[in-house]
Amino acid sequence: MTTETETTPHAAPDPLASQPHAIVERDGVRYTLLGTAHVSHDSLGAVRAAIDGGAYDAVSVELDAQRMQALSDPDALAKLDLVKVLREGKAALFAANLGLAAYQRRLAEQLGIEPGAELKAAAVEGKARGLPVHLVDREVGTTFKRISARLGFFGRIRLLSGLLAGLLVDDEVGEDEIEKLKQGDMLEASFGEFARQSPALYETLIDERDRYMAARLRATSGESRNVLAVVGAGHLQGLARYLREETRDPDTICEELDAVRKKKKVPWFTLAITALVLGGIAWGFWRGGFELGADLLQQWVLYTAGLAALGCAIAGGHPLSILAGAIAAPLKPFRPGIPSGMFSALVELRIRKPAYGDFLALRDDAQTVRGWYRNRVTRVVLNFILTNLGTGIGVWLAGLRIVGKLLG
């Protein structure tokens, strides 16, 4: 049995009166959903007043463990194992997180409040009062992975390039963007216009997380009977709906929404590229003689190695890093799962090893393009991403060139 009531700012003289909120009663538990603006002093005050009122026996927050650590431990990035990040293929995710942190820092400097301060306050105040505190949002890394799986190769390139381009500008955040952020979600705002134009991205960023948080609220309520859930205003309506209507087992829902589609064991795309390159070059040698075959082989090497080297050079890579990327790129079809950017980035990391100060300065340096090039940590990440981008473009151009010569 579930019921829901919504209040207006003038309905009651309580701490929630000035904030959007909804109340859902289900299975003997009263869930008070407090919708906040992530850059609002009013929201911060409302959260503190609501918890101080003593009406709740548990607090749930729209955070995951990683974002909570980022809010509560400014030196968390200094503990990063960059080699592990590269080897596990998490460089793009790390770059996106750095971009998000830079975006939040710009907002904090402009508005005088740390984005997400009300979420942090909910967790801190709840623990200070001895209340159970539950982090109910899905891990941000899982959200990024599910986005990546749904968008495909070109969508991922567009998304990552747009995200980094938008977050690395030095201009102040516009008033329109701030107003949208007050009514929406931090992750959605960070992806900007791309999120609003992509139904798949919006579903993964917002709707899936509404379902996930509703399931987590049900799963973590335990013996609590009055739960305060502090979430971004953009999640309020969807979260209330799923909390009221969803009947499936909450653990099953979370398991499904935590799942990331694994890459196929048979790398058909890589095998197709290998067949195209080897077959085309072999066909060229057979039908056109050594001259045509050598020309096709040269096209493959020049495009892949040249554009990989260019990407690494644009990233400010060391000459040996550029050489490593150039050597690895033409061999891409023969080493599935190991990107050429891995080789160039590891060489860069070896030659220009980041100092402890680079890690401490990450949050500041990630705010500007100059900072990304100055900081040895972010420069390694740029090296990885741009070398891979150059290689990918080179593979497509070389493949088209080979097909064109064979058909011409």
For residue range 303-323, what is the model confidence (pLDDT) as tens digits? Answer: 999 999 999 999 999 999 999
The answer to whether the Cα torsion of 305, 308, 312, 313 is positive or negative is positive
In a domain, 263, yes or no: no
pLDDT for 137 equals 93
- Which of 230, 258, 286 corresponds to the end of one domain? 258
Average pLDDT over residues 57-66: 91
pTM confidence score: 0.69
- Which of 258, 277, 297 corresponds to the end of one domain? 258
**Residue 204 in this model has a pLDDT that exceeds 60:** yes
Tell me, yes or no, whether 96 and 208 share the same domain. yes
Query: What domain range includes position 292?
Result: 268-407
Percent share of the chain, pLDDT over 70: 70
Number of independent structural domains in the chain: 2
In a domain, 23, yes or no: yes
The mean of the pLDDT values for the chain is: 79
Query: In which order are the strands placed within the sheet that holds 133-135?
Result: 2-6, 21-26, 29-36, 226-232, 58-61, 133-135
* Angstrom distance (rounded) from CA 309 to CA 322: 5
pLDDT for 299 equals 84
pLDDT tier for residue 210 given thresholds of 50, 70 and 90 = very high
Tell me, yes or no, whether 235 and 282 share the same domain. no
Tell me, yes or no, whether 254 and 290 share the same domain. no
> By the 8 A CB rule, do 23 and 217 touch?
no
Measured at the CA of 324, the angle between CA 163 and CA 89, to 5 degrees, comes to 40
**Residue 65 in this model has a pLDDT that exceeds 80:** yes
**Residue 11 in this model has a pLDDT that exceeds 50:** no
Tell me, yes or no, whether 64 and 27 share the same domain. yes
**Residue 39 in this model has a pLDDT that exceeds 90:** no
Average pLDDT over residues 357-371: 78
Identify which has the larger pLDDT, 340 or 77: 340
Most confident listed range (133-137, 292-296, 395-399): 133-137
pLDDT for 287 equals 67
Whole-angstrom CA distances from 93 to 140, 143, 146, 156, 202 are: 9, 10, 12, 11, 18
Tell me, yes or no, whether 241 and 306 share the same domain. no
Identify which has the larger pLDDT, 224 or 109: 224
* Angstrom distance (rounded) from CA 175 to CA 191: 17
Q: Which residues pair with 133 in a beta bridge?
A: 59
In a domain, 153, yes or no: yes
The answer to whether the Cα torsion of 327, 93, 73, 195 is positive or negative is positive
Give the total residue count for the chain: 408
In a domain, 77, yes or no: yes
Tell me, yes or no, whether 166 and 297 share the same domain. no
pLDDT for 51 equals 93
Tell me, yes or no, whether 253 and 311 share the same domain. no
> By the 8 A CB rule, do 167 and 190 touch?
yes
Least confident range of 104-118, 154-168, 325-339: 154-168
Contacts of 181 (CB under 8 A, 6+ apart): 37, 38, 39, 107, 115, 189
Average pLDDT over residues 380-385: 90
Tell me, yes or no, whether 143 and 287 share the same domain. no
> DSSP 3-state assignment of 39?
coil
Measured at the CA of 395, the angle between CA 391 and CA 399, to 5 degrees, comes to 165
Tell me, yes or no, whether 134 and 185 share the same domain. yes
Tell me, yes or no, whether 250 and 322 share the same domain. no
**Residue 195 in this model has a pLDDT that exceeds 50:** yes
Q: Could you report the per-residue pLDDT of 174-193, keeping only the tens digit for each?
A: 555 555 555 555 565 555 55
Find, among 322, 251, 286, 298, the residue nearest to 402 by Cα.
298
**Residue 124 in this model has a pLDDT that exceeds 90:** yes
Contacts of 109 (CB under 8 A, 6+ apart): none
Phi, psi of 135, rounded to the nearest 5 degrees: -90, 110
* Angstrom distance (rounded) from CA 196 to CA 150: 16
**Residue 373 in this model has a pLDDT that exceeds 80:** yes
pLDDT tier for residue 408 given thresholds of 50, 70 and 90 = low
pLDDT for 166 equals 53
Tell me, yes or no, whether 190 and 85 share the same domain. yes
Tell me, yes or no, whether 240 and 308 share the same domain. no
pLDDT for 356 equals 74
pLDDT tier for residue 156 given thresholds of 50, 70 and 90 = low
Neighbouring C-beta atoms of residue 60, cutoff 10 Å: 29
pLDDT for 240 equals 94
* Angstrom distance (rounded) from CA 21 to CA 5: 9
User: For the stretch 8-47, what's the b/e string if a residue is b when 16 or more beta carbons lie within 10 angstroms of its beta carbon?
Assistant: eeeeeeebbeebbbbebbbeebbbbbbbbbbbbeebbebb
* Angstrom distance (rounded) from CA 21 to CA 122: 15
pLDDT for 3 equals 47
**Residue 227 in this model has a pLDDT that exceeds 60:** yes
Least confident range of 150-154, 210-214, 310-314, 357-361: 150-154
pLDDT for 9 equals 42
- Which of 258, 283, 311 corresponds to the end of one domain? 258
